[in-house]
Amino acid sequence: MIETIHLSKSYGKVQALIDLQLRIEQGKVFGFIGPNGAGKSTTMMILSTLLEPTEGEAFVCGYDVRKEPAEVRQSLGYMPDFFGVYDNLTAVEYLDFYAGAFKIAPHKRSSLIADLLELVNLSDKAEAYVDSLSRGMQQRLSLARCLIHDPQVLILDEPASGLDPRARIELREILKQLRCMGKTILISSHILPELAELCDDIGIIEKGRLIACGGLDEVSIRARGVTLMMVKTLRNHHRAALILAENMFVEDLEENMDGFRFRFIGSDHQKAELLQKLIEAEVAVSYFGESSENLEAVFLAITEGVAGR
């Protein structure tokens, strides 16, 4: 559905993207992770026909982004990281404008717009002016705008940035619905744990290079023997702190109110031994497992070497 072959982009002497090889199958949700300036938006803009690659090729639904831009645009919905607002337009008029821009017949538009507003839970805001909507609502409206021409591919550049937790959850639920509808989604985010739940595959990009790509488990540093762990205790907190600090497989130990967060570089067997030690020391362990921020650990561990290059 999305394929890039030796894709590179440079701005003068600055290489924004280097030899990107990517293949996303139909119906998959692919998470693109990387710090600012890593090349995520550049890739997305090339795929959306907004930037010309310096080298290589890119295909969306089999169409070449360079040679068949009109077909590519018809096949994808692009959502940039910032929601641009038109003054004095209601949500319905906003969607109607884009429906017209995709040459959708006028008689089909009203029912289509009503369905889309329902999908993004904005039916009650149909007649509200776009600039009066909250950031979360604007992002959802933007998502509805992406879907106006029923594209097979969605390219979402940091859709959750700047949203409060509730708005993030709402957006994530809509994205899950879209995944169920069989849409192929390329999504980038800084909020890494969000992608863990949503994505089938992830790609980690740093300084223009794709440094890891595949299923979450595949990419996870569990395979490399590193896990971001969390231990919560009810009793004997200080004794637990001592055991953890002395354990040779524990790194970057952080102590919280009710527990600990650390990087564990040992195997599952060594993890079990650590738990046993804690129990033998009569520490009341209420939680012993991977941290919900594990994807962040994946990212940090993988990019650690690249950042130093």
Residues found near other proteins in the complex (CB under 8 A): 45, 48-52, 66-67, 69-70, 73-74, 76, 78, 80, 82-90, 92-93, 96-103, 105-107, 109-110, 145, 149
Residues whose CB falls within 8 Å of the CB of residue 119, separated by 6 or more in sequence, listed in order:
144, 147, 174, 177
C-alpha distance from residue 93 to each of 130, 174, 193, 285 (Å): 9, 22, 35, 56
Of 89 and 285, the one with the shorter C-beta distance to other proteins is 89
Q: Nearest Cα to 295, choosing from 222, 220, 230?
A: 220
Nearest approach in angstroms of CB 210 to other proteins is 23
Least separation in angstroms between residue 191's CB and other proteins is 21
CA distance 68 to 62: 10
Residues 6+ apart with CB under 8 A from 144: 95, 116, 117, 119, 120, 122
Q: Between residues 73 and 263, which has the closer beta carbon with respect to other proteins?
A: 73
Q: How far is the CB of 160 from other proteins (least distance, A)?
A: 17
Minimum CB distance to other proteins, residue 170 (Å): 21
Contact of 10 with 167, CB cutoff 8 Å: no
Considering the complex, state which of residue 100 and residue 165 has its C-beta at the smaller distance from other proteins.
Answer: 100
Please give the structure tokens belonging to residue 64. Answer: 């070449």
CA–CA distance, 66 with 194 (Å, rounded to integer): 32
Residue 305: burial class (beta carbons within 10 Å; 0-12, 13-18, 19+): exposed
Q: Which amino acid type is present at position 61?
A: C
Nearest Cα neighbor of 184 from 205, 196, 200 is 200
CA distance to 186, 245, 287, 291, per residue, from 238 (Å): 45, 11, 16, 21
The smaller minimum CB distance to other proteins, of residues 186 and 278, is found at 186
Shortest spacing between CB 154 and other proteins, in angstroms: 12
Smaller CB separation from other proteins, 69 or 193? 69
Residue whose CB is less far from other proteins, 40 or 149: 149
Cβ contact 30:186 at 8 Å: yes
Min dist. Cβ of residue 138 to other proteins (A): 12
CA atoms of 240 and 118, how far apart (whole Å): 51
Shortest approach of other proteins to residue 270 CB, angstroms? 50
Q: Which amino acid is at 66?
A: R
CB of 69 to other proteins, least distance (A): 7
What span, in angstroms and rounded, lies between the C-alpha atoms of 55 and 147?
30
Identity of the residue, 47 or 204, whose beta carbon is nearer to other proteins in the bound complex: 47
Q: Which is nearer to other proteins, 45 or 192 (CB)?
A: 45
